[in-house]
A and B are shown apart, each in its own frame.
Chain A
Amino acid sequence: MKRRNFIKSMMAVSAVAVTPVALMAKDEAKKKGPNDLTSEAAIKAITGGKEAKESDKIKLTVPEIAENGAVVPVKVEVDHPMEEENYVKAIHVLNTKNGNARCVDVMLTPANGKGYFATRVKLSSTQEVVALVELSDGTFIKASKSVKVTIGGCG
């Protein structure tokens, strides 16, 4: 009996000891970027599997050619009313080829008055910038534009 208990306890200990090591190995493999995520996975996580339609309502302004990938201005304007029950709920700025596809998630309210957001992002190489917009009725629309990057800005 003693030996059986001993073996059992040893197994338990080894199981406990192995898991953190395995987790650490996983972390090390991830070391390239702390929040790496592909754009498909990022879009799926935001929409929850719903389809996002291409729409003319979104005016996405990005430069055609960016000489410096570290500073790429992005401007998103959504032509949609901002009333109490019908407004632009969120603007997500995404890219397609960076390690981490997410840039900014902006949650808006009717107090904003207009669906507008502007920022500057880093792009590692020539790729597309995607604006994914969520409306208050739960539908998603998107627009994308490609940017030529001469010098990458992600290190």
Chain B
Amino acid sequence: MAEARKSMIKIKPKKYKTGDIVKVDFIVIHPMDTGLIKDKKTGEIKPAHYIDNITFSFDGKPFTTMKVWETVSTNPYFSVNFKVPGKGKITVDYTDNAGEKNSKSKKLKPKD
């Protein structure tokens, strides 16, 4: 069940200092099936399969949580702002309605 999905965290801009507000972009490769589309090969309706919960945390402390529905596009992209408090690690945990759990993390290295 727990196949590793391709995902990516991007921090924009690339150079930042402590106290700066940066963009944290999170992209994941996921079908986000709505449960309405027919499979072209088998002719059966594909069951809904979408990401439902996302948690952004910094050093284990969550700062943004999201509840997601199937109306979000395939290979979804989520972007939030974050005020850099110092060195640390941003972790994004996400689950989907089929019970898959994954996480991705990226180190924050502010240049002072």
Specify the main secondary structure of chain B where it touches its partner: strand
Tell whether, in the assembled complex, residue B71 and residue A106 are in contact, meaning their CB atoms are under 8 Å apart.
Answer: no
Q: Tell me if B103 is interfacial: C-beta within 8 Å of chain A.
A: no
B77-96 interface with A by 8 A CB criterion: 77-83, 85
Binding site for A on B (CB under 8 A): 21, 23, 34-38, 48, 58, 61-74, 76-83, 85
Hey, which chain B residues are within 8 Å of A82, CB to CB?
83
> Within 8 Å of chain B (Cβ to Cβ): is A148?
no
Q: DSSP majority for the A interface?
A: mixed
Chain A residues with Cβ below 8 Å from B82 are: 111-113
Q: How far is the CA of A129 from the CA of B109 in the complex (A)?
A: 37
Chain A: residues with Cβ within 8 Å of the partner, total of 35
In contact, B73 and A95 (Cβ under 8 angstroms): no
> Please, how many angstroms separate the alpha-carbon atoms of A95 and B23 in the complex?
25
Judge whether B79 and A119 touch: CB under 8 Å.
Answer: yes
Establish whether residues B72 and A121, one from each chain, have CB atoms under 8 Å apart when the complex forms. yes
> Is there an interface contact between A103 and B64, defined as CB atoms closer than 8 Å?
no
Instruction: Kindly report which residue of chain B lies nearest to residue A102, judged by CB atoms.
Output: B69
Of B34, B62, B67, B83, the contact of A104 (CB 8 Å cutoff):
B67
A80–B33 CA distance with the chains assembled, in angstroms: 35
Minimum C-beta distance from A89 to chain B (A): 11
CB <8 Å contact, A119 and B81:
no
Chain B: CB-nearest residue to A82: B83
Q: Is the CB of A105 within 8 A of B48?
A: no
> Does B66 lie within 8 Å of A104, measured CB to CB?
yes
Q: Are B79 and A33 in contact, CB atoms less than 8 angstroms apart?
A: no
Q: List 21 A-B contacts (CB under 8 A).
A: A33-B70, A102-B71, A103-B72, A109-B64, A111-B83, A112-B64, A113-B82, A113-B83, A114-B21, A114-B81, A114-B83, A116-B23, A116-B79, A117-B80, A118-B79, A119-B73, A119-B76, A120-B77, A154-B36, A154-B71, A155-B34
